[in-house]
Structure 1
Amino acid sequence: MKKSILLLALLSICINAFATETKLMVRAKAKDAKFVGGSIGGAHVIVRNTLNGQILAEGETTGSTGNTDLIMRSPHERYTQLSDEKTAGFLAIVDIDEPTFVQIEVVSPINKKNAQIHASTQIWLIPGKDILGDGVVVEIPGFVIDILKPNTHQYIPLDAVPDSGLLIEANIVMMCGCPIQKDGLWDSNLMEVKAMVKKDGEAFKEVTLNNPEQNTFKGNLEIEEAGYYQITVYAFNSKTGNTGVEKINYVIRE
Structure 2
Amino acid sequence: MIKQVYKILSLAMLLSLSVTAWATPTKVVVRAKAKDAKFIGSSVGGAMIIIRDATTGEILAKGMTKGSTGNTGLIMRKAHERYQSIVDDRTAKFEATIDIKVPTFVTIQVMAPYNKKQATITAQTQVWLIPGKDIAGEGIIVEIPGFIIDILAPQTHAFTSLGKTKNQINIVANVVMMCGCTISKGGLWDGDKMEAKALIKRNGESYKTVELKLGKQVNTFEGVLKTTETGLYEITVYVYDARTGNTGVDKVNVVIGK
Between the aligned partners of 2:241 and 2:33, the Cα distance in structure 1 is 17
Instruction: Answer whether contact 1:161 1:223 (CA < 8 A) is retained.
Output: no
CA separation of 1:20 and 1:248: change in aligned 2, threshold 3 A:
same
The verdict on how the C-alpha distance between 1:7 and 1:249 changes in structure 2, with shifts beyond 3 A counting, is: farther
AA matched with 1:180: I
Q: Aligned pair in 2 of structure 1 residues 7, 145: CA closer, same or farther (>3 Å)?
A: farther
Q: Which of the residues 185, 195, 200 maps onto 1:197?
A: 200
Hey, what does 2:4 align to over in structure 1?
none
Number of the residue aligned with 1:3: none
Q: TM-score, normalised by structure 2?
A: 0.93
Cross-structure match for 1:188: 191
Provide TM-score, normalisation by structure 1: 0.94
Preserved CA contact (<8 Å) 1:154 1:250: yes
Match of 2:169 among 166, 174, 198: 166
Q: C-alpha separation between the residues in 2 aligned to 1:77 and 1:114? A: 36
Going from structure 1 to structure 2, the CA distance change for 1:249 and 1:126 (only over 3 Å counts) comes to same
Q: What's the CA shift for 1:66? A: 0.3
- 1:104-143 superposed matches below 5 A: 104-143=108-147
Q: Deviations over 1:65-123 (max 9, x none)?
A: 00000100011111110111100000011000110000000010110001000110000
Distance in 2, matches of 1:38 and 1:144, equals 15
In structure 2, what is the Cα distance between the partners aligned to 1:138 and 1:99? 22
Q: Give the share of equivalent positions with the same residue, in percent.
A: 56
Q: CA deviation at 1:158?
A: 2.3
CA distance in 2, matches of 1:63, 1:19: 30
5+ residue gaps in structure 2? 1-9
1:173 alignment partner AA: V
Q: Give the 3 Å change call, closer, same or farther, for CA 9–224 of structure 1 in structure 2.
A: farther
Instruction: Give me the whole-angstrom Cα distance separating, in 2, the residues matched to 1:26 and 1:61.
Output: 8
What does residue 221 of structure 1 align with?
225
Q: 1:157-200 CA deviation, whole Å, 9 max, x = no partner?
A: 2212235x210000000000000001000001210000000001
**Alpha carbons of 1:8 and 1:230: their partners in 2 closer, same or farther (altered >3 Å)?**
farther
Task: Indicate the larger mover: 209-218 or 101-110.
Answer: 209-218
- Structure of greater Rg: 2
Q: How far is the alpha carbon of 1:11 from its aligned partner? A: 5.9
The farther-off stretch of 114-123 and 209-218 is 209-218
